[in-house]
Amino acid sequence: MNGQLPSQPGRLVQWMLLGGAVLAFSLAWWGVRSTVRVGDVGTVGSAGGTDPTPGAPATTDSEERRKAVEAIVAARNRDNGLEAEKFRNAGWSMVAAEPPDARLTALDPALLEGRERELRVQIASTVAAPELASRLKHIAMAARESATRVAAVEALGRMGTREAQSELLALLPSLPADDDARQQIVPLLRPHALDDEFAGRLAAQLDGATLTMVEKKQLAFTLALVGLRDGMKLRGGTASPSAQKLIDQMAALAQRGTGEEL
Amino acid sequence: MVAAAVLPARAQTFNLSSATTTLSTVNRLPPIWIKYTWKCRHASGAGCSSAELANPWFKQVFITSSGFVEAERDDFWTEFDRIIGFMTGNGAGNSWSAQQRERLLFVGYFVPGGALGAADAAFGGKVAAHPIRGFATSLSQTAVYDKIAQIRAAEISNLRPFTAGVLFNSFQTPVTANAAPPSFVQRAFGVAKFTRQDLNERGTYITTHELAHAGLNFLDEYVEKGFADLNIRQLDAITPLALFDWSWGGFVHAISDLLGVYDYNVSEILAANGNDNVTLTRWPATVYTPGYGVEDYVYEGGMFFGRGTWHTAGDNLMNSNYVVRGPGDGQALSHSGSQQRVINTAFGGGAGRPNDRLRNAGPKSGWPAVFGSSTHVMLYDGDKNHHFQPTQSYTVQVGWYERNWHTCWAVFVPYPCYDDIWRTAQTNVAPTARALDLKMSSLYGLANLTQGAMCAAGISEVPKPDGSGSFRLCDQDLNSVADNFLPTVKFSVPYQDVEVPASQWLTTYWWRFSTYNGVVNSGWTGWSSFYRSL
């Protein structure tokens, strides 16, 4: 009949099954989770996690399964230590050191709160991966210290990728003209060649309102240098007559190697 | 006693063509009948002894001649005495030579020859057209170094100049004095060149300034007219034209796009390559070293360009009043903070700071498919070629995660699982000379600009391509020289490659480094990674 409650023994079995499922799930989760440890040579402790413990005594089937898994484990561990041995053979020694902080190497902008100095060292002393261009742009705008913001701009300049160059260009209207970081941006803008689409975008800046007169001279000088290096000019119509005139003046300056103030 | 007093010091031989400093000190005989070939004088005018010449506590300022005929020997010695007075007298202010006057030995050596520009002028001296400023002093630096070596071998065995100058017998004006900082010519000292007219017009400034280039390795902190708003980093447009030379070994040949793999820049080679008083960024320390603060090179300008090069505050000898960006950004017979630190190191030893201008310069990202059992990482070290505290060793760490497999259990079901274990290998590497070549013939329309920048840096002489001598870079219009006669300029660079035996496929390796300059270990650079796919 409907609405009839299960008998007491039946309810007990239900609870036992539920508890067993929860227990099994918990054990499985602790076991599969990978842990990170510093190598035995070091004195730094485990990064976290616990080693799983062996389960209940196995049946014959389970014994075979265990042996199979152990064989896999042994096979996968066979080459462990070979890399270290290769380094030792090349005269290196194995030492203890902390692994990289993933947040630092990923240039996590949240580190600007409380760890800005470390972030600045990471930015200034390495070449950032291409996918970090947008983070560098964010840091160039958000960092408290000028040194960090300048480092972020310089790091974008070093990357040399199209995306990094675009991020530099996008930074210009976001920073005031007298900002330390802003003043380092334009000299880092550089097309691969004058027939590059990016060269056209740069040339357009010469007529825009974003750049200061000094920045326009700098940008024109860069375009002139790239042109002189490659023996090329901007495609017709890429630059306005006044912009082209400024580029030509800068080219003349570069070709003379010296000159009076323009 | 008197007899003993007039005896020459053991290391010197008295004859009519050489100096006997003991004799000149005791008797002060008039020069009309003694023709000195060389003299050694303290700032006080007193003669110096062999023992003092041999004593490394003293620093030798070597002055020689060009364009003086035999009959003008005494004129040279008169000017020699004036040079000592300019550099160490009351008018020298707080310049390095005035500060250290008690430790300076002035060694003059007269070399007779033809007039300037004549075929037999000493060291090929002449007043030549200059790419930047009209006329400038010009000679064969190689000839000067050869002469000094010859003098040391045959006459003055303890001759070891701290700085050297050649006095040109000319009253033409204006003629630009110049000097090559030693790090650019890879010598123990540079050679300064100035004229007698320079002594008349601004003797103290010219001698202390040019001999500071040649001895203290300082770069100019002033700006060339026309370049006040332009940035040295724009010159990096020519970096693709710089070629790795033989000093790198064979690994460079396996890489078709070196600039895509490594981060190297002409601007760094010119202005952040061992010359401490000028940097490429306002805060040049890129790593943190406990116990050391962050230096602020607050003012922009130097090395030809008005922007992109930086120097510390303090009116000083290497600056001018052409572009003044704030108080303490002008010229004086004194030194800025960074310059004073270098002077203290040069005369006091040690190192004034850690060598902390560092960068992991590649591989930039990933590692292109490469064949072989090792990888090469590139270190940028702005102090690798520092004249007084060069890096003595690099400590390089390479790390990777190693999977340590074991058996796990899901209740009664075994399965393989792993821990990631971090492994770190470390080695120490001594710096080795590395260079990039810049063929002037590849510069096309940029030749004059590059020439101007190099001449401003003091690079005035390069070997000729056919090995027949030297090409005087600053004497001629490069547009008038055929391509096959244009030289290749070789730059010692602030980069060091390190071979890493990282050969495991499908593995991300991490690396970083620090420096040791004989006094202090720098902080570590950040970790960089490269992924070894094959």
CATH (domain of B184):
3.40.390.10
For chain B (length 534 residues), average pLDDT per consecutive 10?
31 36 40 82 96 97 98 97 97 97 98 96 90 80 96 97 98 91 91 97 96 96 88 91 82 77 92 93 97 94 93 95 92 96 96 97 72 81 97 98 92 91 97 89 80 79 73 76 75 94 87 98 96 75
| Two structure tokens written together for B69 | 């005929």
Contact between B414 and A99 using a beta-carbon 8 Å cutoff: no
Tell me, yes or no, whether B53 lies in a domain.
yes
Measured between CA atoms, how close is A4 to chain B, in angstroms? 35
Determine the average pLDDT of the residues in A241-262: 80
> Judged by CB atoms within 8 Å, which residues 201-230 of B form the interface with A?
224-230
For B98-113, the DSSP string reads HHTGGGEEEEEE----
Of the residues B460, B475, B492, the one at which a domain ends: B492
Claim to verify: residue B414 and residue B286 sit in the same structural domain:
yes
Q: What percent of chain A has pLDDT over 70?
A: 76
Quote the pLDDT of residue B375. 87
Contact between B420 and A35 using a beta-carbon 8 Å cutoff: yes
Reduced to 3 states (helix: H, G, I; strand: E, B; else coil), residue B202 is: helix
Quote the pLDDT of residue A40. 40
For B97-155, the DSSP string reads HHHTGGGEEEEEE----B-TTSTTBGGG-EEEEETTTEEEEE--HHHHHHHHHHHHHHT
Report chain A residues whose CB lies below 8 A from the CB of B240: 229
Contact between A117 and B288 using a beta-carbon 8 Å cutoff: yes
Quote the pLDDT of residue A34. 44
Q: What percent of chain A has pLDDT over 90?
A: 63
Report chain B residues whose CB lies below 8 A from the CB of A72: 405, 416
Measured between CA atoms, how close is A5 to chain B, in angstroms? 32
Tell me, yes or no, whether B221 lies in a domain.
no
Q: Which of A105, A125, A146, A213 to mutate to test the interface with B (most CBs of B within 10 A)?
A: A125
Contact between B501 and A122 using a beta-carbon 8 Å cutoff: no
Q: What residue has token string 């000679």?
A: B139
Task: Tally C-beta pairs within 8 A across A and B.
Answer: 283
Claim to verify: residue B447 and residue B335 sit in the same structural domain:
no
Q: Is the pLDDT of residue A238 over 90?
A: no
Claim to verify: residue B158 and residue B14 sit in the same structural domain:
yes
**Residue B299: closest C-alpha in chain A:** A180
C-alpha span between A27 and A32 (Å, rounded): 9
Give the tens place of pLDDT for each residue, A8-22. 556 777 777 776 666
Structural domain of B300: 228-434+493-534
Q: Is the pLDDT of residue A157 over 80?
A: yes
Claim to verify: residue B68 and residue B149 sit in the same structural domain:
yes
Overall residue count recorded for chain A in this entry: 262
Q: Which of A23, A258, A260, A262 to mutate to test the interface with B (most CBs of B within 10 A)?
A: A258
Claim to verify: residue B45 and residue B177 sit in the same structural domain:
yes
Nearest to A84 among B423, B443, B528 (CB): B423
**Total domains present in chain B:** 3
Q: What share of chain B is helix, strand, coil (3-state, %, to 5)?
A: 30, 30, 45
Quote the pLDDT of residue B370. 56
Report chain A residues whose CB lies below 8 A from the CB of B427: 90-93
Quote the pLDDT of residue B16. 30
Report chain A residues whose CB lies below 8 A from the CB of B241: 229
Claim to verify: residue B281 and residue B394 sit in the same structural domain:
yes
Q: Which of B407, B426, B483 to mutate to test the interface with A (most CBs of A within 10 A)?
A: B407
State how far the alpha carbon of A207 is from the alpha carbons of A203, A213, A228, A236, in Å. 8, 10, 22, 16
C-alpha span between B101 and B241 (Å, rounded): 45
Claim to verify: residue B187 and residue B255 sit in the same structural domain:
no
Claim to verify: residue B12 and residue B113 sit in the same structural domain:
yes
Between A91 and B436, whose confidence is greater?
A: A91
**Residue A23: closest C-alpha in chain B:** B411
**Residue A46: closest C-alpha in chain B:** B421
Measured between CA atoms, how close is B310 to chain A, in angstroms? 12
Claim to verify: residue B204 and residue B143 sit in the same structural domain:
yes
- Contact present, B380 and B495 (Cβ < 8 Å): yes
C-alpha span between A227 and A194 (Å, rounded): 6
Claim to verify: residue B355 and residue B334 sit in the same structural domain:
yes
Quote the pLDDT of residue B452. 79
Residue A60's pLDDT band (boundaries 50, 70, 90)? low
Contact between B446 and A228 using a beta-carbon 8 Å cutoff: yes
> Judged by CB atoms within 8 Å, which residues 380-399 of B form the interface with A?
397-399
Question: Which residue ranges make up each domain of chain A?
Answer: 101-186, 190-262
Nearest to B407 among A70, A83, A258 (CB): A70
Determine the average pLDDT of the residues in A12-41: 56
| Class of residue A144 by CB neighbours under 10 A (exposed 0-12, middle 13-18, buried 19+) | exposed
For the stretch B340-346, contacts whose Cβ atoms lie closer than 8 Å and that sit 24 or more positions apart, written own/partner, are B340/B314, B341/B276, B342/B216, B342/B217, B342/B218, B342/B276, B342/B277, B342/B388, B343/B96, B343/B99, B343/B100, B343/B216, B345/B388, B345/B389, B346/B59, B346/B162, B346/B215, B346/B216, B346/B387, B346/B388
Measured between CA atoms, how close is A83 to chain B, in angstroms? 7
Measured between CA atoms, how close is A147 to chain B, in angstroms? 7
Quote the pLDDT of residue B195. 97
**ipTM passes above 0.85:** yes
**Residue B427: closest C-alpha in chain A:** A92
Contact between B423 and A125 using a beta-carbon 8 Å cutoff: no
C-alpha span between B100 and B106 (Å, rounded): 12
Tell me, yes or no, whether B222 lies in a domain.
no
Claim to verify: residue B163 and residue B25 sit in the same structural domain:
yes
Helix (H) or strand (E) holding A256: helix A241-256
> Judged by CB atoms within 8 Å, which residues 306-335 of B form the interface with A?
307-308
Claim to verify: residue B165 and residue B117 sit in the same structural domain:
yes
Q: Which of A116, A120, A126, A182 to mutate to test the interface with B (most CBs of B within 10 A)?
A: A126
Quote the pLDDT of residue B244. 84
Tell me, yes or no, whether B518 lies in a domain.
yes
A46-60, A202-216, B160-174, range with the lowest pLDDT: A46-60
Report chain B residues whose CB lies below 8 A from the CB of A151: 281, 283, 286
Nearest to B419 among A37, A53, A126 (CB): A37
Report chain A residues whose CB lies below 8 A from the CB of B406: 51, 73
Tell me which amino acid residue B297 is: Y
Nearest to A150 among B282, B402, B501 (CB): B282
